Every structure is written in structure tokens, then in C-alpha cells.
Amino acid sequence: MSLLFIAVSQGRADPLPSDIFGALPMLKNVQLSPDGSKVAALGMQKGRPVLVVTEFGTQKFETVARLKNDFDRLDWLEWANNDRLIFGSSSPLLIQGRAVRVQMLGSMNADGSDFKVLENKALYQKSSFGQASYSYLHALPDEPKTVLLGAYDRRDRAYSIFRTNLYDSTFVKVFGGDADSAMAVPDADGRLLYASKIEDSIATVLYRDSESGPFEELVQLDLNDGQGVFNILGQDPADQKLYVLTNLGRDTTYLAKFNITSKQVDDILMSDPRYDLSGGLFKDGRLVAVQKVTDRAELSYLDADYQAIAQQLAAAFPGEQVFIAGLSDDQTRVLVQTSASNRQPRYFMVDLKTGKGSLLGGQYPKLENVRLATTRAFWFKASDGVQVQAQLTLPTDAVTSKLPVIVLPHGGPNARDFVRFDPFVQMFANRGYAVLQVNFRGSSGFGKAYEAAGFKQWGGLMQQDVIDGFKQVVSDSSLNLDADRACVVGASYGGYVALTASFKNADLFQCFVSIAGISDIGSLLQSEFYTRMSETRAMNAARHGDPVVDRALLAGNSAINPLPLITKPVLLIQ
């Protein structure tokens, strides 16, 4: 498998060690305290996950928590108040023959003192699917000692929400799911005004105007295909209408105001005919920003104060994508993340009062002064005439001979690639390979029709889009790509694409690498994870196929069956 791991000999400089690209980020989940005085982050020290804190404007990191074992993970952290952190970690454990990650929730002061494990023992159940898994919901700024945590409560057989004391680990249930409202979601102020329930594959979104009032139905979504979107961002205090991201009546997800009296969309505020809007930020009663991903992630600021800050920061970092990763309550101190496809993500601390900024650190500091490859997005016409989006990364060094190609399909399959810094892509480019990533039909982010075109198309249209993208780029003489030196590499669903290409498209490629890829679709859809809930079974049957009704279709597109047809090298990584 030298094609993958050895640099192509074309007079290029020696490649960088692969562990530079394969290392875990030196900094991630970087968080600014509400008053802007401190910055906390998850990091790595000597191969172990750590939680670090520094004063704003300095790089004097203090390690306040370090995990003991190599396989433990720090998963997330948040500031609960100006001096208290809450974080989640997980450890591998074998229960009833099944490998699971067991979650631990912790809380401590910013200097590492007064550590408390947050645990509600009444929720514990010793089974592979019975581990108490908590979701952090809200910091409750008016109650600085408490947060809202969500967890499945086996006593009620429903999702519950607890007001949890960070200093003594007291859990008080404030919401218990029932037949009328199975799951609640706090609004921007921590009030439990929104809820949802699922019955017979129909999801119902609910609303109430006070925490003591009854829930009323707002809208229903059919879960059989899993395509309905109705996300409440917040409520406009002026007219009491809800800001929502939804695709009701349209192909792509848009921003609208929803009238809770008429239960209808009143005003469409922002939309894109090609791309879904994917997120929003609601703060202090204001809709601040909305996100969409075109060929890259983009934020549209709707609040004048935030927009002015964003424009000021963009001017300070030309040529890079700039995101506000944190803003102090008084809006004078900003935590900024910058990145580009050819530049590692970096974090800066900016004081808007003084106009001064300083570097906090980067995710991959060993790549800071390295010339990295640039990724560009493009659209191409598939063999049936449909426009498909893709992106191509070419090595930085000029070469005279043709470049070998790595085809790198994404996982999911209802996910997508976009232009961003990707250490995996950069590792291949650093070794002299062109890297092609295709957002085949079935990918998310391009509207309902584009995603639905991939339903039950494992090995079909989704596979053909990847092949058509490969044929498109190697036929473009200006790119100087070598069609006779190509390999398909992928993880999860991308690994499935690689395995399927090994017997359906073997004439086009010289090798195939499947990382945790699927070789038997039918077995996957019949596994315990996919069959525990009727709604999950129905959705997967619509999207991927019914393991009984579509048995022949699934078998014909699973690499486990046509093994004699696989004659070229295949690398399996699990």
C-alpha cells in the first residue's frame, strides 16, 4: 500500500511526518468566560487530554484537569458562570459483550479546585444501552450555581430535564417526559417553553407561553423520510412570533417568523434556492446571526452590533474565514477563530476597547509555517445531467509529471464536505496527491430533493456521482491528473464507497481503502442499533432500504457477496 503512505517521487521536498497531520488538535472547544476574563480549552499534553485555562490576553495556560488513561477522552466543556466550569469525559468499557463509552460529567472552579462528579445514581443501569448519558442544555445566568441537564430517566421511560447544582451534585427534576410532551428544549433564557413528541412516526412540535401552562401543538413532521425541519431559534419579544429554521413548503431550509396563533409561517426572512440554512444564534432576545454552508461555512449577521464587530475582525485577518467564537457579556472582549483550507485554525483574543489582539494558539502548531494546499469547490454535470458539487485539492509544489489521485468520499451518507482546513486531506496533498471530494446525491445541505435523490441508492446514483466526478477531473487536461494512478479512500459510508468501487469500478482504480466501512448493508440495517425504535426502522427503510423487502437490492450492492470480483488491493482499517 505504498501508494497511500509514501510521497510520490517527482522531485518534491520530503513530506512531513504523518503524525503531524494525525495528531489530535492541540486546542479545541475553546471557550470565553461570560465576563471575558478567562479562556478555557481542551488540549493535549504528552498524548493525554487536558483541560487548560488562561487569563484573557495571555498564553499562560494552567492545566486544571488531566485524564489518567490513554483511551479516555475529554468531549466538551462550558463556562457555567465566570468562575465555574462544567465538562464531559468518556471512558471505554465492555458491558454485556458490547464496547461502549461511559460518560462522566464533572464540575470545578477555573483553578481546578472543588472538583465534583455530577451524577444522578437513580438513572444508572448496567446495560450497554442503559448508561446515563447527560446532555448539557443551559447555564441559567440568573442561577449561577445551577445548570439544566437532560437525560433519559428509566423510571419514567422518558427524557427528563434536571436543575443540577454544580457545587453539590444535587439533581432536581423540572421536566419529565410523558405522552403529551416527550422532550423539552429550553429557550435562550432557560425557560422550558418548547417541546416535541413522536408517535407513529409523526413528530409534533409543541409550545407554551409559560412554564406553568399547557403545551399546544404548533406543527407536525413526517419522520418516515426524516426530511422535515422545524428548529426554533427564539421568540421576538416585539410580536411574540418565533424565529424558526424550517423547510415547510419549500425544498431548502429557510429562516422565517412563525405565528403561534395561526400556526403558519408569516414572513420568510432569509433563504437560498440551492443551500439549506443550517443554524442560528439567538442572544439577549435578539436574532444575532444565521449560518449556511455553500462551498464553505458562512455567517450572516442580522444584529448591527455583531455585524460591526465581524466586519472589523474580517479586515484584520484578510484571506481567512473569521468566526466570533466567544464574546463577553459587555461586548468588549472577543475570542476569534480564523482558518482557511490551507491554514490551520487559530484562536486570537481581541480587546475591542484598546483595539489590541494577541494569539492564543493553533490547533496544529507544527503546521503554522508550512505551505499547505488550497481546496477549491466546483460543480459538474453527472452522467444523467444533474449538477453535483465537489471540491479538489492540489499539491502546492509545481510538478511536470501527472498527479496521482485520491478519491475521498465523505461518511454519513447524509452529511457533506465543504472547503475548510482538513488535516487528512492535507496529509495526502503533502505527499503529492490530488484529493477529490464529491458531495454525491444523498448529501445533506442542498435541499430535500438533492438528499432524497440518494434514498435507496447505495451503490447506485450515489456511487455513480463519485465516479462521474473522478472522470470529470481526470479528463481536464489543465489539472494534469493521472487517471491510471488513483485510489478510493473513505471512512464509514465513505469506506462503503471504497469497497463497492472494488467490485463495481475496479477498472478505474488501483487500490481501495475502507476505514470502518460497511460491507453488508442488510446486516447493518438489522443490527440492534438500527432496530431498537420503530421510528428509526421506518426512517432507515425509506432512506436506505428495508432489509426484507429490499433484500436483493441491498445484497447486490454489498461487498460481502461478490468477493470473487474483488481482485485489486483492498486495505481494511477497523
Dihedral, CA of residue 389, residue 395, residue 399 and residue 402, to nearest 10: -40
- pLDDT score for 141: 82
In the structure grid, which three cell numbers stand for residue 94, read together?
Answer: 465492555
How crowded is residue 107: how many other Cβ atoms within 10 Å of its Cβ? Answer: 22
CB 327 within 8 A of CB 348: no
pLDDT band at residue 105, thresholds of 50, 70 and 90? very high
CB 532 within 8 A of CB 129: yes
Q: Where are the alpha helices (DSSP H) in 475-533?
A: 493-504, 521-525, 528-531
Enter the DSSP assignment of 123. Answer: G
- pLDDT (tens digit, 9 = 90+) per residue, 346-385? 999 999 999 999 999 999 999 999 999 999 999 999 999 9
Mean pLDDT value across the chain:
90
CA 113 to chain centre: 32
- pLDDT score for 48: 87
Dihedral, CA of residue 417, residue 423, residue 429 and residue 434, to nearest 10: -10
pLDDT band at residue 128, thresholds of 50, 70 and 90? very low
Whether cis (ω within 30° of 0) applies to the bond prior to 413 is yes
Distance CA 429, CA 226 (A): 36
Top pLDDT among 126 and 185 is at 185
SS3 of 403-454: the string is EEEEECCCCCCCCCCCCCCCHHHHHHHHCCCEEEEEECCCCCCCCHHHHHCC
Q: CATH 2.130.10.120 residue ranges in the chain?
A: 178-302
For the ranges 72-76, 151-155, 379-383, the maximum mean pLDDT occurs at: 379-383
Range name among 66-70, 329-333, 522-526 with the lowest pLDDT average: 66-70
Closest CA to 40 of 22, 26, 23, 27: 27
CB 17 within 8 A of CB 63: no
- CATH 2.130.10.120 for domain 178-302, yes or no, is yes
User: DSSP letters along 28-73, please?
Assistant: EEEEE-TTSSEEEEEEEETTEEEEEEEETT----EEEEE-SSTT-E
Alpha-carbon distance values, 528 to 73, 519, 534, 560 (Å)? 25, 17, 12, 20
CB 467 within 8 A of CB 441: no
CA angle 36, 37, 40 (to 5 degrees): 85
Distance CA 164, CA 45 (A): 31
Average pLDDT over residues 525-540: 74
Residue 42 burial (C-beta neighbours within 10 Å; 0-12, 13-18, 19+): buried
With H, G, I as helix, E, B as strand and everything else as coil, classify residue 161. Answer: strand
Enter the DSSP assignment of 393. Answer: E
CATH of domain 374-519+559-573: 3.40.50.1820
Q: Has residue 3 got a pLDDT over 70?
A: no
User: DSSP letters along 517-529, please?
Assistant: --S-HHHHHTSHH
pLDDT band at residue 151, thresholds of 50, 70 and 90? confident
For the ranges 202-211, 215-224, 386-395, 535-544, the maximum mean pLDDT occurs at: 386-395
β-sheet with 286-293: strand ranges across: 277-283, 286-293, 297-301
- pLDDT (tens digit, 9 = 90+) per residue, 430-445? 999 999 999 999 999 9
- pLDDT score for 5: 33
Alpha-carbon distance values, 314 to 140, 320, 339 (Å)? 32, 8, 12
User: Which residues are CB-contacts of 25 (< 8 A; sequence separation ≥ 6)?
Assistant: 43, 44, 345, 363, 364
Enter the DSSP assignment of 373. Answer: P
Closest CA to 137 of 151, 152, 127, 123: 151
pLDDT band at residue 515, thresholds of 50, 70 and 90? very high
Q: CATH 3.40.50.1820 residue ranges in the chain?
A: 374-519+559-573
Residue 236 burial (C-beta neighbours within 10 Å; 0-12, 13-18, 19+): middle
Beta bridge mates, 235: 242
- pLDDT (tens digit, 9 = 90+) per residue, 177-197? 775 557 888 988 899 999 998
- pLDDT (tens digit, 9 = 90+) per residue, 474-504? 999 999 999 999 999 999 999 999 999 999 9
- pLDDT score for 7: 41
